[in-house]
């Protein structure tokens, strides 16, 4: 019997960590639906003629994007095994200047979208006994000034993930990955001290996140793992930083 090709839907896949996840899964033989905004460079990263990739232009804050993505994947591949909620944005602004619209934009992109996508994908994921991975952040647990909306959204995403693990189990496993500093642009331009401050001795790469996402989507390797939050930060959140 021919092996069934598994299908994943990844948000924010035009750039950075999301693109690395899409490429890695594709290299492992997954078929991948990629959602990203118009103008995000989605077409640049993935040739439209690639047979195992479906590009879906849309805004994850909108209900219709989740519906369109599910329709596109059902038509093309007829199944869904994995959902990766990766799209995210950050706003740094003092609290007194942060508008309600700016607050909502971050919360809706980073948190509400995961609810909308999971709701749209639930039936297909249950049928496939699939898995969900959300991409949160170590900022769910620690902060710099002026990042309230981002930290709140990521804290919410960590909590949403364990709540979903309970509601959707045992059919669907749900796990969260919380990266620290993942350099998505010019890794070679990083300074020695950027690397040295990490207990692991280096800054993270998108591939570091892609590896664990692939593991968590694969029921044969991670079938006993659900409701967990994996911190991928080179040890930074374990490090005491009191001044000497
Ligand atoms: N890079 C890091 O150091 C780091 C650390 C912790 C967490 N994260 C998280 O990892 C995820 C990916 O981060 P990244 O560094 O690759 O970011 P990035 O900006 O390089 O890529 C994010 C992608 O999401 C897309 N996107 C944004 N809003 C969207 C929307 N409304 N609808 C559809 N797509 C949208 C963007 O167009 C972009 O392609 C984010 O959730 C981010 O919060 C990143």
Q: pLDDT tens, 77-123? A: 999 999 999 999 999 999 999 999 999 999 999 999 999 999 999 99
Catalytic-role residue among 24, 150, 187, 242: 150
Please work out whether the CB of residue 194 comes within 6 Å of at least one atom of ligand 1.
no
Tokens encoding 53: 């990739």
Is the pLDDT score of 228 beyond 60?
yes
Residue 244, judged by CB atoms within 10 A of its CB (0-12, 13-18, 19+), counts as: exposed
Residue 243, pLDDT score: 83
- Note the pLDDT of residue 49: 75
What is the whole-number distance in angstroms between the Cα of residue 87 and the centre of ligand 1?
4
| Alpha carbon distances (Å) from 38 to 43, 71, 200, 208 | 10, 19, 37, 27
What average pLDDT does the chain have?
A: 96
Token look-up 């207990």 returns 199
Q: Is it the case that residue 43 has pLDDT exceeding 90? A: no
Domains in the chain, ordered, with CATH?
Answer: 7-233 (3.40.50.720)
% of the chain beyond a pLDDT of 70: 99
Q: Determine if ligand 1 sits within 6 Å of the CB of residue 87.
A: yes
- Mean pLDDT across the stretch 164-180? 98
Q: Smallest Cα–Cα separation from 37: which of 73, 89, 2, 76? A: 89
Q: Of 21, 220, 212, 216, give the one whose Cα is nearest residue 33.
A: 21
What is the SS3 string spanning 61-125?
Answer: CCHHHHHHHHHHHHHHCCCCCEEEECCCCCCCCCHHHCCHHHHHHHHHHHHHHHHHHHHHHHHHH
Q: Is the pLDDT of residue 208 over 90?
A: yes
187 is catalytic: no
Nearest CA to ligand 1 atom 41: 88
- pTM tops 0.85: yes
35 forms beta bridges with: 11, 56
């Amino acid at each position: 019997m021919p092996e069934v090709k598994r299908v994943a839907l990844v948000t924010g896949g035009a750039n950075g960590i999301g693109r690395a996840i899409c490429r890695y899964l594709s290299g492992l033989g997954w078929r991948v639906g990629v959602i990203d905004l118009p103008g995000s460079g989605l077409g640049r990263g993935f040739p439209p003629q690639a047979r195992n990739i479906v590009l879906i232009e849309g805004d994850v804050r909108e209900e219709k994007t989740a519906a369109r993505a599910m329709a596109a994947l059902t038509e093309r591949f007829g199944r869904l095994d994995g959902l990766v909620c990766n799209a995210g944005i950050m706003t740094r602004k003092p609290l007194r200047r942060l508008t309600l619209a700016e607050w909502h934009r971050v919360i809706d992109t980073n948190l509400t979208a995961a609810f909308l996508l999971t709701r749209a994908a639930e039936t297909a994921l249950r049928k496939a006994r699939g898995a969900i991975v959300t991409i949160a952040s170590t900022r769910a647990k620690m902060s710099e000034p002026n990042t309230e909306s981002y930290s709140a959204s990521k804290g919410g995403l960590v909590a949403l993930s364990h709540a979903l693990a309970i509601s959707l189990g045992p059919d669907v496993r749900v796990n969260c990955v919380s990266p620290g500093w993942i350099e998505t642009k010019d890794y070679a331009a990083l300074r020695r001290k950027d690397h040295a401050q990490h207990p692991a001795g280096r800054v993270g790469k998108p591939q570091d996140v892609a590896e664990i996402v692939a593991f968590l989507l694969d029921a044969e390797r991670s079938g006993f793992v659900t409701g967990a939050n994996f911190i991928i930060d080179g040890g930074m959140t374990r490090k005491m930083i009191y001044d000497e």
